Structure 1
Amino acid sequence: MNDLLLLIIYCALLGSVVGFLAGLLGIGGGLVIVPILSVFLLHFEIIPPEQVVIVAVATSLASILFTSTSSAIAHHKNGNVPWHLAPWIMTGVALGALISGFMAALLPEQVVRIVFAVSVVLIAIKMFYSSTKAESTTERQMPNKGLLTFFTTITGALSAMIGIGGGALLVPLLTFFSIDMKKAIGCASACGIVIALFGSIGYISSGSVHFALADGFAGFVYLPALLGIVCTSWFTAPLGAKSTHYLPVSTIKKIFAALLLVMAVNMIM
């Protein structure tokens, strides 16, 4: 079996797990894809080591376009997408993701790695803490639409920088403003489509001078790995979305936190 086919099989197995987690947690799957795909790319020696992380990030974002779409459709059917807020949130994350995607080639690989690890550790600590304490009865008002768009622009930029769909940042933000956890996950799934689309445009454009389509690349996006991931994640994402109806919120938060910590440690190492 040649290396390319083996890589696609590995990515298909990765996609099956990522899709389920994307539907369950609204994370798009990038938190899992980036560190594991980085290992795959290093193992098969497909690209120079100094470009592994940015290719993993770009490919992750491209796969999230498909995974988040499948997940968002399932959440919409279950009534878990707050469409009265989604347009304002989507505007912010689209702008942030587009800016971040075009700037990607200017960032040293080590900076991306450190930003990824630090971001997810802080998110995991916050999420785990909130899962172990009693639910707050304090109702926090959602900020005005302009401020909400500003917050989500930052969220979109950071998400695109580290190759995630945005749920890891959006879910804590929305739950802080008293949005129901399941609706926050549904909104994050829908916004993951926007982050992935605009972030991918930036990565494809900025990476076109580094890699050629003839070698299996669309900019920084490695197409064989993308194919492997999405051929399974599209089908497992709805299963994860359905599971949100059967798991208590505290359990979902603990799963979320544990996943983030494991991925942060892997990326640092």
Structure 2
Amino acid sequence: MALALVGLSFVTSLITATFSLGGGMLMLAVLALVFPPAVVVPLHGVIQLGSNAGRAVVQRAHVQWHFVLWITLGGVIGTVIGGQFATLLPETLFQFIIGAFVLLTTWLPQPKVVGRSPLVQFVGGVVIAAIGMVVGAGGPLVAVFSKTIPDRRQLVATHAMLMTLQNTFKVVVFVALGFAFSDYLPLLAGMVAVGFLGTAVGSRLLVKVPESAFRWGFKIVLSLVALDILRDAAF
């Protein structure tokens, strides 16, 4: 099982490096089949931290730092808030809200303020981080904000940096709450290391994918993720 999870880390990192998201939700779904619910979100946070950090380093030249600032500042507050209620709030309700929100914002026209307003980005950062602490599904919500970035390399790099910071906050909070990450250290180290290889391969594929194909692929992957969230909430 450990070897299978390490191999999955390569595949999910490759998918995410190519289309900005999708791999994280696949990883979350598989972890939920292997580990108890109380373990899934903390482990997923570490694995995604390694995957996103590798992608952010490889594509650092394309990160849009002005976009990262406000969402990250909101994320600090949201992580603390979400950490207080991570085991108390109804996960199914949040899953329905996330799935519906992602589908609507993916396919319906949106005002430009969503991508450009610092206030909207700050509030969005609070909400995304708080929900991510409960259900571990912050990536699709971050993608809703970052998809307004016109260049695909900038979009993927900026999303990677945002998720690196979000997952860093998440891991710090779970450490403060007393989660024993050391019990899973060998597995986590292997998954992070192999995930970096997947990121390197996916980053090469990203350059070769035409812009129109990337945008459609991004929407399709995001929609599949949203539908999977709704399916999980329903059953």
- TM-score, L = length of structure 2: 0.82
Q: Tell whether 2:138 aligns with 1:159.
A: no
Match of 2:85 in 1: 103
Q: Tell whether 2:227 aligns with 1:261.
A: yes
Could you tell me how far apart the structure 2 residues matched to 1:169 and 1:19 are?
A: 18
Judged with a 3 Å threshold, the aligned counterparts in structure 2 of structure 1 residues 212 and 56 are, in CA distance, closer, same or farther, namely: closer
* Structure 1 residues not aligned, in runs of 5+: 1-6, 42-51, 131-135, 217-221
Match of 1:187 in 2: 158
Could you tell me how far apart the structure 1 residues matched to 2:156 and 2:120 are?
A: 21
Could you tell me how far apart the structure 1 residues matched to 2:161 and 2:86 are?
A: 23
Q: What is the Cα deviation at residue 236 of structure 1?
A: 0.5
Could you tell me how far apart the structure 2 residues matched to 1:70 and 1:23 are?
A: 10
Give the length in aligned residue pairs: 229
1:211-250 counterparts in 2 under 5 A? 213=182, 216=183, 222-245=184-207, 246-247=209-210, 248=213, 249-250=215-216
- TM-score, L = length of structure 1: 0.73
* Greater helix proportion: 2
Could you tell me how far apart the structure 2 residues matched to 1:27 and 1:102 are?
A: 27
Match of 2:71 in 1: 89
Identity %: 17
CA RMSD of aligned residues (A): 2.8
**Contact 2:98/2:229 (<8 A) preserved:** no
Q: Tell whether 2:17 aligns with 1:66.
A: no
Q: Tell whether 2:112 aligns with 1:140.
A: yes
* Structure 2 residues not aligned, in runs of 5+: none
Match of 1:44 in 2: none
Judged with a 3 Å threshold, the aligned counterparts in structure 2 of structure 1 residues 255 and 143 are, in CA distance, closer, same or farther, namely: closer
Q: Give CA deviations for 1:7-58 in whole Å, capped at 9, x if unaligned.
A: 32121022112211221233384312222111122xxxxxxxxxx2231111
Q: What is the Cα deviation at residue 103 of structure 1?
A: 3.1
Task: Decide which structure has the larger Cα Rg and report it.
Answer: 1
Q: Tell whether 2:94 aligns with 1:115.
A: yes
Judged with a 3 Å threshold, the aligned counterparts in structure 2 of structure 1 residues 265 and 181 are, in CA distance, closer, same or farther, namely: farther
